[in-house]
Amino acid sequence: MALTILLSCVAILLATSALAVAGARKSATTFCVYSVALAVSVAALSIACWMLLTNPGSAATMQLPIGLPWLGAHFRLDVLAALFLVVINLGSLTASLYGLGYGRHEPTPGRVLPFFPAFLAGMNLVVLADDAFTFLLTWEFMSLTSWALVMAHHRDRDNAKAGHIYLVMASFGTLSLLLAFGLLAGPDGGYGFDAIRSATSSPGVSATVLALALIGAGSKAGLVPLHVWLPLAHPAAPSHVSALMSGVMTKVAVYAFVRIVFDLLGHPLWWWGAVVVTLGGISAVLGVLYALMEHDLKRLLAYHTVENIGIIFIGLGLALAFQGNDMPLAAALALTAALFHVFNHSVFKSLLFFGAGAVLTATGERDMEHLGGLIHRMPLTAIAFLAGSTAISALPPFNGFVSEWLTFQAILLSPKLPQWPLKFLVPAIGAMLALSAALAAGCFVKAFGATFLGRPRTSASQRAQETDAFSLTAMFILVLLCLIAGILPGYFIDALAPVTQQLLGAQLPAQEQLRWLTIVPIAESRSSYNGLLLFVLIATAGWLGAYVIHRWASHAVRRSAAWDCGFPDASPLTQYSAGSFAQPIRRVFGTLAFHAREQVYMPAPGDTQPARFHVSMRDLVWDSLYAPVERIVGFAADHFNKVQSWTIRAYLSLVFSSVVVLLAVLALWN
């Protein structure tokens, strides 16, 4: 029943998409498309929540006679799928609501509206798919619709390049997944997930599947070094689509990884965890370092997605390591942390992209060096963006902290692991996680400070207007969720219990009954956290302090010019910019990570030329991994180009000789 409703939701979305093509030129289409998407998301979200919270124990399955004739299309709704459906539909709900306001500013609605519902449908279908063929088909559908949305403003040269790189990386990722499923299905070709689950594969095959899943899902999720497309493509799309791609589609990739490795592949080996944890740690640190060097607000947010995906994969890797050593409770803790972070990241990343979209609409600027002082012009957007910044920086009492805290608790269990490489690796990963959290806080001080605080740097940011009510509602729903998940995490952890039970056969102890809603992952003598209590205590202490001082001491205020140590400068260009804010961190970390070099050209005394300051940075991942491939492809293309101008005789002889060679190979093979 639940599955039928969900599939009907998908069908409605696809129909809307078809109708939007027909009505693309009508102005009412924008409103209709987003309203339908909103209604459908609400329905799908309620079904998914109901499924996750009541946990009926058995999964609903359904087979439709479409797709391959001998296979059909299998769909299945279990708690894992339900969890990711919650994430997807929460994202689409808020994005549709936001789109109701934001979509009105869209210059080319015909390039966005038909693809938006189709993209939502694609993401829902991936999670529901229960055979390899349907999975790959819907996965590719999701990739292509999102690509179309990235190309919505294709006349911009950067966007065209972003779309090109995205298309190449997406095809490459799907190819890896195709091979992974091929290996999983074995020579008999049992493409249903049931058949795959019951089959056992040799360690070599399992390891290959793991590697392929890491490449396939990791490239969509944005794991370093497969992240290069993400900071180009995500910001290129309209902002609510950026929010969906960064906040939700990367989670579908996480789902693919969890489904393949935790569900289909069977019992993990300990070193799988080591590989995944290492990739996660590198992504977390590099992602945030890239973000710190970035001055484009939306691209900065996209790089933070790389960081947060890293944190999620640290959790997943730890779960694999613990499960490989038959420590199900520790594995359940690590997986809970990862899945909770999946939810949290989808919430605050959507929120932040909505905020960036509001800034973009109000000022036409994405470059933080041209913004500033927006807190006076857009006070509500500023509050929402501040809440999102606090959450993503893993600061209590917001939600980002809770999932990172749980990840730390899982890391602290690593000494119990028997393998020495893991014992040495995991503490280092813990330090990397702490580093990325601290750098993220620095990065969001920079992002919020340069955009919303200080004095306006351009006339565009001086004249900005607060965004519309739909967008604000969408943002404040997410702010509320960030706060609720931060101060009442026990309920969310309990909701994740059936998922870990299904995947690992273990779950964390129930948190709901504990005194004052404290969360205790293992034992109270070991560690506990109570966001509600902290929130109440801090709010009371702050309010009481302010009240006492205002009541009995002084509440007089005088406005005056800034003091600035006696040297105030009237030009807003003298205030700290995003680039200058990041300079100390660039000097400490960037010298190694980006080969950052600073050159100062100081003219001789008496010379009237201006002094110049130049920073050069290299993207080492691109230079060492992608640039060689690019060169090889370019070289090969140059040389095969000659084939194009061959005569028909030459072509015929080529075809003939290929047939002969193939036949010869076949003959030798048999």
Residues 434 to 463 in contact with another protein, rule: CB under 8 A = 434-435, 437-439, 441-442, 444-446, 448-450, 453-455
- Please, are residues 473 and 97 in contact by the beta-carbon 8 Å criterion? yes
SS3 266: coil
Site for another protein in 520-549 (CB under 8 A): 520, 524-530, 533-534, 537-543, 545-546, 549
- Please, are residues 372 and 453 in contact by the beta-carbon 8 Å criterion? yes
Distance, CA of 184 to CA of 564 (rounded, Å): 65
How many residues make contact with another protein (CB under 8 A)? 91
Which residues pair with residue 613 across a beta bridge?
A: 600
In the complex, minimum distance from the CB of residue 271 to another protein, in angstroms, rounded to a whole number: 18
Identify which range of 132-140, 295-303, 409-417, 492-500 contacts another protein by CB under 8 A. Answer: 409-417
Report CA-CA distances (Å) from 87 to 107, 196, 260, 651: 29, 26, 19, 53
Binding to another protein by CB under 8 A, coded x per residue (else -) over 201-240, reads ----------------------------------------
Distance, CA of 364 to CA of 341 (rounded, Å): 32
Asked if 277 is part of the footprint of another protein (rule: CB under 8 A), the reply reads no
In the complex, minimum distance from the CB of residue 582 to another protein, in angstroms, rounded to a whole number: 7
In the complex, minimum distance from the CB of residue 404 to another protein, in angstroms, rounded to a whole number: 8
Torsion of CA 191, 197, 199, 201, to 10 degrees: 100
Among 11, 428, 659, 662, binds another protein (CB under 8 A): 428
Distance, CA of 611 to CA of 63 (rounded, Å): 71
Residue 266 or 427 having the CB closest to another protein: 427
Identify which range of 406-414, 468-476, 493-501, 609-617 contacts another protein by CB under 8 A. Answer: 406-414
In the complex, minimum distance from the CB of residue 473 to another protein, in angstroms, rounded to a whole number: 22
| Displacement of CA 233 from its chain's centroid (Å) | 12
Asked if 590 is part of the footprint of another protein (rule: CB under 8 A), the reply reads no
Element (H, E) at 339: helix 328-363
Asked if 427 is part of the footprint of another protein (rule: CB under 8 A), the reply reads yes
Token pair for 102:
């934001």
Site for another protein in 109-168 (CB under 8 A): none
Q: How many CB atoms lie within 10 A of CB 551?
A: 8
- Please, are residues 240 and 102 in contact by the beta-carbon 8 Å criterion? yes
In the complex, minimum distance from the CB of residue 396 to another protein, in angstroms, rounded to a whole number: 5
Distance, CA of 327 to CA of 341 (rounded, Å): 21
- Beta pairing, strands 597-601 & 73-77: unpaired
Place of tokens 């004095």: 455
Asked if 394 is part of the footprint of another protein (rule: CB under 8 A), the reply reads yes
Among 104, 105, 154, 376, binds another protein (CB under 8 A): 376
In the complex, minimum distance from the CB of residue 575 to another protein, in angstroms, rounded to a whole number: 4
Site for another protein in 565-584 (CB under 8 A): 565, 568-569, 572, 574-576, 580-584
- DSSP state at residue 269: P
Asked if 632 is part of the footprint of another protein (rule: CB under 8 A), the reply reads no
Site for another protein in 644-663 (CB under 8 A): none
Identify which range of 142-150, 192-200, 225-233, 387-395 contacts another protein by CB under 8 A. Answer: 387-395
